[in-house]
Amino acid sequence: MTTSEPTITFTAVFQEAEEGGYIAFIEELPGANTQGETLDEARENLRDAVEVILESNRRRTLERVGSARVIRETMEIRKS
């Protein structure tokens, strides 16, 4: 049996910038925002921004709990 990372689905929002290109952000993840000259570049930059934020949050959590015994589990949230 193989285990894989859970998949998380976010809502990406892209808006044409007045000066050209696109600005992009994730509705559900404050701080996940970026820009790109093309829609594809904005998508890739946004994907990178989300990965950096999630990894940083994981690292801070591990630092906070240290060697404490914790229960970790995946959680699925459905939109209402």
pTM of the shown model: 0.78
Sheet-wide strand order for 12-16: 12-16, 22-26, 33-36
Determine the pLDDT at residue 2.
53
pLDDT digits (tens, 9 = 90+) for 28-74: 999 999 999 999 999 999 999 999 999 999 999 989 998 889 898 88
pLDDT bin (cut points 50, 70, 90) of residue 3 is: low
Is 27 a residue whose pLDDT tops 80? yes
- The domain tally of the chain equals 1
Exposure on the CB side of residue 74, measured as CA atoms within 13 A: 7
Of 52, 32, 31, the closest CA to residue 42 belongs to: 32
Residue 7 three-state SS: coil
- CATH number at 23 reads 3.30.160
Can you give the residue range of the structural domain that contains 24?
A: 1-80
